Structure 1
Amino acid sequence: MKPVTLLAVAVTVFVVIAAITVYSRLAQFTPPQQIDVSGLPLPKWAISFGKTDAPITIIELYDLHCPFCAIAHERLDPLYRELLNSGKLRLVFLDLIVHPDALQAHQYLHCAYRQLGNKTYDLITQLYRLLAEDEVNGPGKQLELLQQYKCGDMPSKSDFDNAVNALLKALAQKGVSISQLGTPTFIIIKNGTVNVVVGADVARVISLISQ
């Protein structure tokens, strides 16, 4: 075979291999999922701050006794406040009870939300600060602070669990599957695009909501 023919064959083979490689990579690429926030099954009793039509929605699965939640909240707090004040963020706290002894604190927090409304955000910040300052005695101090708000009609553990399960099911039906849960878990919806951050990866959360 002549050198020119060999070169032509080699170039053809290279082009074919390159085309196959590019196609396989494109086939593996999954575009961001687009969903309608208003269609998600969030319970009426969920603790929510900000405008319902804000361009960014964060659903945070949280546990008041989770030290990683406390760390994440402390770092995200300034940005949360900035975005809430500017009308750019809707922040929803959905209870994911990982520490069983946190149940009563969560129930009392919902009582507080009924009484305090948007001021409950400052209370959440204070509760996490108590835990961050003293991880051993912090839960007890949280409960002491929350007892003044206790009420008769509080969400139950089943209510909390069912709300999380309903949300996960709805997301899965829309193509957003969350294989692993932990506290905190951030479900970030911006311009209809969904991203999920599990754990206190604050840098990732900031990056997603600041883009």
Structure 2
Amino acid sequence: MSKRSSRILLAAVLAASFAVGCNKQTSPAANPATASASGGQCELAPDAVVGTYKVDGAEQKVTYGELTGRIGAPLADLDKRKQDLLKRGLDGYIIEKLVQAEAKKRGLPNEDALLKAEVEDKSAQPSDAEIQKIYDQAKAAGQLPAEVTLEQVKPEIVKMLGEQGKREKAQALFNDLKSKADVKVLLPEKRIQVEATGPAKGPDNAPITIVEFSDFQCPFCSRAKVTVDEVVKQYGDKVRLVFRHFPLSFHQDAPKAAEAAACADDQKKFWEYHDKLFANQGALKVDDLKKHAADLGLDTARFNECLDSGKKAELVKKDMSAGEKAGVSGTPAFFINGVVLSGAVPAEEFKSIIDAELSKKK
């Protein structure tokens, strides 16, 4: 394995954490000269004048506050992406240095040899049962046409599982190296506060609040559910999880599914219905949504009236607006005490932020 290929593997593991979601594409001074620097650019005071124009000969002013108010959502998204890039870049730099050091420690010629020994050589071929499971899941989620057979897509599944296995082995190696090296991330976290309103698990006074924006038709959101459940179980009463709706425009059934979940919430069955939807992502048509309600023992007359009336559409729209203002452009998106985490990332990424937050409260 060449030096270039080892860098590609490192990059692939880091890049994989980007491709884990469904996406759609202050200083008190008024004088800009005294504004503080933030991220290499001047963060102006809200009343700082950034432009002028004339109407009927009278000069009109545009303030920084007016400007950012107009383009607040894309600015928030840009800030989030920049923070993600900085965090991934720092993580990648540290991993690369640790891999080089470990190879040298073991007396190996280079990092390629270490990655071959720990990743390539330890990655097993997927079993028939694993291949069948992926095929069945894709079928159930409506991601494959009914006429497509296992044999037709088996090569692609084998390739996908093989690459996934290598990423997991590589990530396990990197996590082990970072743990032994006592890595500390000192990069300041940018916080974006979003209102924690909606169906919730955990005590109101929990030291950690996770606000999740999700889409019931997004496969990455379904995958993230498993991770979130693990995190909530591990931290118990230290974590409060709040769910907010963010159905994406290209997921045709997602808006009505979100409304259905809100209708179920009226009957104190949100989380049961939430789990039912994620377990049946290939069955999110209106008739399916009503059947799920019946299966869970809801008052179907009340539920059906709620769903058919569209009375929950405004609630869903309000959640989406809050998400857009916070820079959400894809799902799932999480705000852990205001710290942004995007995509179906490993539980370790949640735990890293949560542990850091808890340590500050001691």
Q: TM-score, normalised by structure 2?
A: 0.38
1:90 paired with 2:90, answer no
Q: What residue in structure 1 maps to residue 320 of structure 2? A: 164
Is the Cα contact below 8 Å between 2:213 and 2:245 reproduced in 1? yes
Runs of 4+ in 1 over 4 A off after TM superposition: 27-30, 140-143
Identity, % of aligned positions: 28
Are residue 112 (structure 1) and residue 264 (structure 2) matched?
yes
- Residues of 1 paired with 2:276 and 2:344: CA distance? 18
2:271 aligned residue: 121
How far off its partner does 1:143 sit? Answer: 5.0
Distance 2:335 2:262 in 1: 21
Answer 1 or 2: higher relative contact order, Cα 8 Å, separation at least 6. Answer: 1
Are 1:76 and 2:228 matched, yes or no? yes
Say whether the 8 Å CA contact 2:260–2:289 is kept in structure 1.
no
Gaps of 5+ in 2: 1-38, 41-185, 295-299, 357-362
Shift in Å at residue 61 of structure 1? 0.6
Aligned to 1:138, what secondary structure does the other structure show? coil
Equivalents in 2 of 1:107, 1:123: separation in Å?
11
TM-score norm. by structure 1 comes to: 0.62
Residues 142-181 of structure 1 mapped to structure 2, 5 A cutoff: 142=289, 144-146=291-293, 148=300, 149-150=303-304, 151=306, 154-156=311-313, 158-166=314-322, 169=325, 178=327, 181=329
DSSP-derived class of the 1:70 partner: helix
TM-superposed CA distance for 1:202, in Å, is 2.7
CA distance in 2, matches of 1:162, 1:123: 21
CA RMSD of aligned residues (A): 2.9
Question: Structure 1 residues 89, 70: CA separation in 2 closer, same or farther (over 3 Å shift)?
Answer: same
Q: Which runs of 5+ in 1 are unaligned?
A: 1-26, 132-136, 172-177
Report SS of the residue matched to 2:213.
strand
Residues 1:105 and 1:168: Cα distance change in structure 2 (over 3 Å): closer
